Amino acid sequence: MQINPQAPAHGLPPSKWLLQRRWPLFALAIWLLATLGFRPLMLPDEGRYVEVAREMLLGDGSLPTLFGLPFLHKPPLMYWLDLAAMKVLGVNVFAARLAPAFGAWLMGAALYADVYRRHGPRAAALALGVLATCPFYFFGAQYANLDMLVAGLVTVAVLCARRSVDEPRHADLQWLFAAWSAMAFAVLAKGLIGVVLPALVIGPWLLWQGRWRALLRLMHPLAMLAFAVIALPWFIAMQWRFPQFFDYFIVEQHFRRYAESNFNNAQPFWFFAAVVPLLTLPWSLWLPSVLRKWRVPGSPTSTSASSTQRAEGGLYAWWTIAILGFFSLPTSKLLGYALPALAPLVALLALHSRLGRAIRWVMPAAASFCLALLVFLTLKAPGSHRDIGLALGAQMKPGERVVFVDEPYFDVPFYAGLKQPPFVLSNWLDPTIARDDTWRKALYDTARFDPRGAAERLLSVERVAALLCESGTVWFVATRGWQAPVSFGELTNVLQGKEDDLLRSAGVAQSHCE
């Protein structure tokens, strides 16, 4: 399918086009929400971030905590959204995934609105359909971490900023405020990339067009004030409460993580160039069609785009390249980093490729593939400890303690509904913990902000023995075949999970407590 780039723009106000063509956005919401609660939580990300939100629901709602300890790796927006959903809908997997689903819907709505305005309803529906049935998008919307939420907000920020400078002689303050507000929420979702990525897209694009005055108009002081009012209070509160916050959150979690090579998921420079086409199948099969349209004019076999087409697609092309290039530079690479490039990539595929009649069978096939993969992951439940968490929640009595043995088991407190945070047994004196980017370091780092709490929750073998002497029943979650020290007394195996066991203390010999 080809879209005429010279078709008249549909410059309708948001309320009018939403009333006239609202059904695709409602259909998108149903598509994203219908299967949101099917799959068990996956580890480590889903279990960790959902547990932080659940603990904030039990706590004061302002300080993110993990196992009762300050968890200041990321800002709180996703936690707040999930907290609100859990408060209304209960503590369940559906509520726990509403934040990424909301981010995905924002991305779809922003793309739909932009394409509708410039190319009309048919092109907008096509772009939204391609996006919705892209496996990368579908599963990003159903994966409880921060990546899809920030990607949706970045998409909104870029397209609102573009709309605000559509007219060459002035800046539309309505859209400018929307852009800066979206950037503020994106900063609250994942930190500085919430403003860095939109600036990286819009700034060079305007300069490439010679529109430096438009770039200056984007820096409107009132819009920037709105950004500060939304984004800064939580960061100021954390810095006031924890003097080490700036160094840890800004310097280490942003600049050192970007520049250094000792963080996890080290991948080569070309990682995203190879992986993103695989994650966007089957639609990425039409990428060669897009590239052919953008070949240099004058080539003997060229079907290159006109100058109008090039100008129209220039932002989408640069947007895709800028995001993937930015995240290709650091050694550490995660799949979710590429999500902010998904909307412009889909726009290029929908507006500048030759889908033709293939759309009639490709879109249903892509949707079916997404659902089939979801069913597989639901049945397989890779890494899930749901069975252990449910058994623990059913049998545990108030006042009893829980110890995780040398693994985080982030999803167990969620499924068990623990009211008190668990203890974690490991070799916390190991000097490699401070260097390696692992779950142990994430918990080890909490000692910077709460040394007393970390000393209480992060246990050595000796401390567990003392806990057994002090308390009544203590539950242990450990990998299959774990041999408890003699000082732990006799343990009863209550449940054998896939790879892990739920054990209960059966008393400690008095001689071990003297």
- Token readout for 175 is 């859209």
- 83-90: long-range contacts at Cβ-Cβ below 8 A with a sequence spacing of 24 or more? 83/53, 83/56, 83/57, 86/53, 86/54, 86/57, 87/57
pLDDT at 262: 59
In this structure, of 99-108, 346-355, 374-383, the range with the lowest mean pLDDT score is 346-355
Q: Would you put residue 489 in left (φ > 0), alpha (ψ -120 to 50) or beta?
A: left
Rounded CA gap, 204 and 29, in Å?
Answer: 33
Contact in structure between 245 and 328 (CB atoms under 8 Å): no
Q: Which long-range contacts (CB under 8 A, 24 or more apart) does 262-270 make?
A: 262/435, 262/436, 262/437, 263/331, 263/332, 263/437, 264/332, 264/437, 264/438, 265/332, 265/333, 265/334, 266/331, 266/332, 266/333, 267/331, 267/332, 267/333, 269/328, 269/329, 270/328
Instruction: Categorize the per-residue pLDDT at 311 as very low, low, confident or very high, splitting at 50, 70 and 90.
Output: low
Listed range (60-69, 72-81, 186-195, 300-309) with the worst mean pLDDT:
300-309
Residue 298 has pLDDT above 70, yes or no: no
Give the lowest-confidence range in 5-14, 40-49, 96-105, 278-287: 5-14
C-alpha angle 340-341-345 in degrees, rounded to nearest 5: 140
Q: Stretch 256-276: mean pLDDT, rounded?
A: 77
Amino acid at 90: G
* pLDDT band (50, 70, 90) for residue 300: very low
The residue whose two tokens read 């949707």 is: 367
The model's pTM: 0.90
DSSP 291-357: HHHTSPTT-TT--PPPHHHHHHHHHHHHHHHHHHHHHHSSSB--GGGGGGGHHHHHHHHHHHS--GG
pLDDT in tens, 113-150: 999 888 888 889 999 999 999 999 999 999 999 999 99
Q: Which residues contact 344 (CB under 8 A, 6 or more apart)?
A: 315, 316, 317, 319, 320
Structure tokens belonging to residue 254: 């942003």
Residue 423 has pLDDT above 60, yes or no: yes
Q: Residue 349: is its pLDDT beyond 80? A: yes
Q: What is the pLDDT of residue 171?
A: 60
| Mean pLDDT for all residues in the chain | 86
Lowest-pLDDT range, 134-143, 256-265, 412-421?
256-265
Q: What's the pLDDT score for residue 354?
A: 73
pLDDT band at 484 (very low <50, low <70, confident <90, very high): confident
Q: Which two tokens stand for residue 28?
A: 């998108």
Distances from the Cα of 481 to the Cαs of 129, 155, 493, in angstroms? 49, 48, 11
Q: Which residues pair with 404 in a beta bridge?
A: 424, 477
Residue 308 has pLDDT above 60, yes or no: no
More confident residue, 126 or 359: 126
Say what the pLDDT of residue 382 is.
84
pLDDT at residue 432, as a whole number: 86
**What is the per-residue pLDDT for 435?**
78
